[in-house]
Structure formats: C-alpha cells, structure tokens
C-alpha cells in the first residue's frame, strides 16, 4: 500500500511541478526517486540500474527520428515551405469569401468552413511528423485570420488548433509522428499496422472535433461571445517569399511513400526528406550561410526533447521495477472486459502521469507488451490501440504544448482549456475505445 501511495504522490508531484514550470529534466528523476523511496528501493541502484538504462533505451530508439524531425521542422519553418502549404490550402478553402471581400462586401464565413480549413491544413502538415509545437507558430496566425472572418471566439483557438495538430495526425497509420515510430521501433510492427481501424479512428476524432467545435462556436457567437483581436499575434503573412506549395509537398510525400510503401527505415526516409528539402528550398533558407543559422538551435532542441521524454518514460521503468507493480498489474489483468480496453487504460494512465504521448508509450510498451500479447493481443492491434491511447490524457492543463498555445493565442487557461479538453482528451479517449472495440470485434483487421 505504501508503494502505491508513493506512485500516486510521485505522479501528483510531477504534474504539479510541470504546471509550475519546473524543468522536466530535473523534476522527472526526483519524482522517480521519490517513488523508489516509498517502495523501499535502493536509490542509487534505482537511478543507475533502472532509470539510466530506461533513458538509454529511449535514446537508442528515438534519437535519430527526433533529430531528423527537428531538422525537417527547422528547414520547413525557415524556408517558408510549411507556410507555403498552409497558405495554398487557406487560399483554396477561402476563395469565395476572399472574392466577395475584394468586391467590397462585408464577409462573415460560416464557422464550420473556418474550422474545416484549419483541420485540413493542420492534419496535412502534422502527418509529416513535424513537431506540433513548431507547427502551432505556423497555423495560429492563419487560424486567427479565419476566426476573425467567422467571428469564432479567440478562446477556442487552442482547442481547434491542437485538435487539428495533435490527434488524428499523430495516431493514424502511416504517420511519421513520434508515437507511431515508437510503436514500430519497440514492437517491430509496420507503420501501417491495423490500417482499417486506424483510419476509421482518425476519421472519427476529426469528425467529432469539427462538428462539436462548430456547434459550440455557433452557440458562443449567438450569445455575443465573438472574436476579439489579440495584441501581439499578427495576421496571416502575405509578403513572405516562399517555395511553391507543390514543390514543398514533394519531400514530405517522398518520406511517407518510402516509409510506408517501400518499407524503408524511418531514418533513411527522413534523411531523404532532408536532402530533398535542402536542394529544393536552397535559396529560401539563405543557402550555406542560412543553413548554419537554421541548424543552430537543432542540437539543443533535440537534446531537450529526447532527455525530457526519455526521463518521463523512465518513471514508468521505476514503477515497473517496484514491488507495487505486480500488484497493479494483477489488478489491471483481473479487471473484467476485453484485453484491448485494458491496453487503453494502462497507456492512458501512464500518459497522463508523464504529460506526454511519446513518454507514455516508451514507459508502457517495454514493460507490458509481453503481458498483453500473452493475453492474446496481436502486436498489430497493440500497436494501433496504444498509439491512439497515448493521445488521451497527454493534453492535461500541465502539457507544455498547451501552455505555449495559450501564450501564442493570448488567452487564459481558465477560458480556453475546456475546448482543449473536448478535442484532445474527451474525443481522443472515445476514439481510442472505438479503435479497441473495432479490433476486439474484428481481430482480423489487425
């Protein structure tokens, strides 16, 4: 019982500390050692024999993909290629409204048109595996422009934008997101594992998010709660020279095709993206001189991301090594219900504790995959259900990405979190259970 109390206290302290802005790199080891202390584990041995190896396992699996992802994001951000894709989709979906506005008509877009536009742009960009936090800085100015044209309250911005960037595109088959890649690396499965349930789940969460945000926005507008301009966030850039949108899509398409269609190693597929982007966007990021400036922050970004997620995941390693773990595992396995629903519960709880989908997966899959496969769960089904489950409790109010989004949109947590909860917690949880149900009823779809 004391060990279980220690786990609860350690996780609670982790969430509270993250909420207060304490560095995860400092906080995670302290909380992990607190859990070890409550469980009567030798602290030095736990740190050197459990936590460090767990971090090393994550670094071994994910250093390459995370590094390549940061490089790709830097190139696409610096060159304007990501903005080019976003602007092309923006122009496509707003052609009617812009034409009427040019003719002098006061144009108010339908909220659902604005929301769908944001979701299409966000999903296309996020499917490449680029960091959602980086993409927020690209998508938010466009989203606010659309919010203004449709009168949607700015407080809904984080919910709509995060719902577009950090739900379906991180979980569906074929994506090069960290979550999908972690499952591939740790389970030895294909990135297209359980494709049919995966695409159905992605379609479900997108549809729910779009429909519910549309209903809520119309009610808010009817009550007089409409868009107000932020002080700092600029509108959609129009004078930035960017690559052609079609050329900008080629490196992303090459990665997705080689990774999924040809079965290339993720590092090779992402390296191809980098090479093509460096060639195609050469004059847009400033050539060799601009390349040095572009790559400057990448090392720090990669190190910080890998260490943060690795250390958060290592807390799961300490829990797994604790005397309380067999008790918790036995309680989980003795619960009634299909095994895949237990997968949803296990991954969701660890994800909520770590505040990160990738950390939740890296903390769960190494320690529970054999347990679940022994219960008859196929690796492909485990892959897809666990990836969707890692998108459930990752966006609690302590999530760093959400905190950043409130700053970009200039909104308060108390005014904006309820929308984020709907799109990235409630609807993603429903979707994870839906995917688990599909694979329970139709195991052949795995």
Q: What pLDDT, in 10s, does the model give residues 409-438?
A: 888 878 888 999 999 999 999 999 999 999
Per DSSP, the three-state class of 225 is coil
CB-based burial label for 310 (10 Å; 0-12, 13-18, 19+) = buried
Structure tokens at 280: 């195609």
Count other C-beta atoms under 10 Å from residue 150's C-beta: 24
Q: What does the pLDDT read at residue 354?
A: 66
Token match 């839906």: residue?
A: 434
Q: What does the pLDDT read at residue 235?
A: 45
C-alpha distance from residue 21 to each of 265, 360, 417, 420 (Å): 36, 20, 17, 20
Give the whole-angstrom CA distance, residue 172 versus residue 185.
Answer: 16
Q: Are 163 and 412 in contact (CB under 8 A)?
A: no
Q: What does the pLDDT read at residue 238?
A: 53
Give the whole-angstrom CA distance, residue 23 versus residue 30.
Answer: 11
- To 5 degrees, how large is the angle CA 403–CA 406–CA 412? 105
Q: What does the pLDDT read at residue 201?
A: 96
Based on DSSP, count helices (H) and strands (E) in the chain, helices before strands.
Answer: 23, 0
Give the whole-angstrom CA distance, residue 131 versus residue 424.
Answer: 16
Q: What does the pLDDT read at residue 400?
A: 65
What is the extent of the structural domain holding 115? 2-445
Q: What does the pLDDT read at residue 239?
A: 61
Q: What does the pLDDT read at residue 236?
A: 46
Tell me the pTM: 0.77
The number of distinct structural domains making up the chain is 1
Residues of the chain with pLDDT under 50: 234-236
């Amino acid at each position: 019982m004391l060990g279980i109390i220690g786990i609860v206290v350690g996780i609670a302290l982790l969430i509270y500390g993250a909420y207060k802005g304490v560095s995860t790199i400092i906080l995670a080891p302290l909380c992990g050692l607190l859990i070890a202390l409550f469980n009567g584990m030798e602290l030095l041995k736990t740190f050197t024999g459990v936590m460090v190896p767990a971090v090393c396992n994550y670094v071994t699996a994910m250093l390459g993909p995370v590094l390549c992802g940061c490089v790709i994001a830097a190139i696409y951000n610096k060159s304007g290629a990501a903005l080019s894709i976003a602007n092309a989709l923006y122009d496509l979906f707003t052609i009617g409204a812009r034409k009427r506005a040019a003719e002098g008509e006061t144009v108010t877009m339908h909220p659902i048109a604005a929301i769908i536009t944001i979701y299409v742009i966000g999903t296309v960009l996020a499917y490449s595996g680029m960091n959602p936090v980086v993409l927020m800085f690209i998508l938010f100015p466009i989203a606010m422009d659309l919010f203004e044209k449709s009168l949607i309250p700015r407080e809904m911005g984080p919910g709509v934008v995060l719902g577009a960037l950090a739900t379906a595109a991180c979980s569906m088959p074929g994506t090069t997101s960290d979550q999908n890649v972690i499952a591939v690396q740790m389970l030895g499965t294909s990135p297209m594992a359980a494709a049919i349930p995966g695409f159905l789940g992605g379609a479900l969460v997108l549809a729910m998010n779009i429909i519910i945000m549309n209903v809520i926005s119309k009610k808010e507008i009817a009550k007089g709660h409409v868009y107000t301009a932020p002080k700092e966030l600029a509108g959609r850039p129009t004078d930035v020279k960017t690559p052609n949108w079609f050329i900008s899509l080629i490196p992303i398409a090459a990665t997705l095709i080689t990774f999924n269609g040809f079965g290339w190693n993720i590092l090779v597929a992402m390296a191809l993206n980098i090479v093509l982007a460096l060639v195609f966007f050469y004059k847009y990021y400033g050539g060799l001189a601009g390349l040095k400036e572009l790559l400057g922050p990448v090392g720090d970004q990669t190190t910080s991301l890998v260490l943060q997620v690795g250390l958060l995941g290592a807390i799961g390693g300490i829990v797994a090594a604790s005397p309380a773990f067999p008790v918790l595992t036995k309680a989980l396995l003795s619960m009634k219900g299909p095994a895949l629903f237990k997968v949803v519960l296990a991954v969701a709880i660890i994800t909520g504790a770590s505040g990160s989908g990738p950390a939740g997966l890296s903390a769960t899959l190494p320690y529970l995959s054999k347990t679940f496969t022994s219960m008859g769960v196929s690796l492909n089904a485990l892959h897809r259900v666990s990836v969707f489950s890692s998108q459930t409790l990752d966006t609690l109010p302590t999530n760093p990405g959400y905190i950043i989004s409130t700053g970009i949109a200039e909104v308060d947590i108390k005014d904006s979190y309820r929308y984020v909860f709907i799109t990235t917690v409630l609807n993603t949880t429903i979707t994870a259970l839906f995917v688990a149900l599909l694979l329970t009823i139709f195991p052949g779809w795995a």
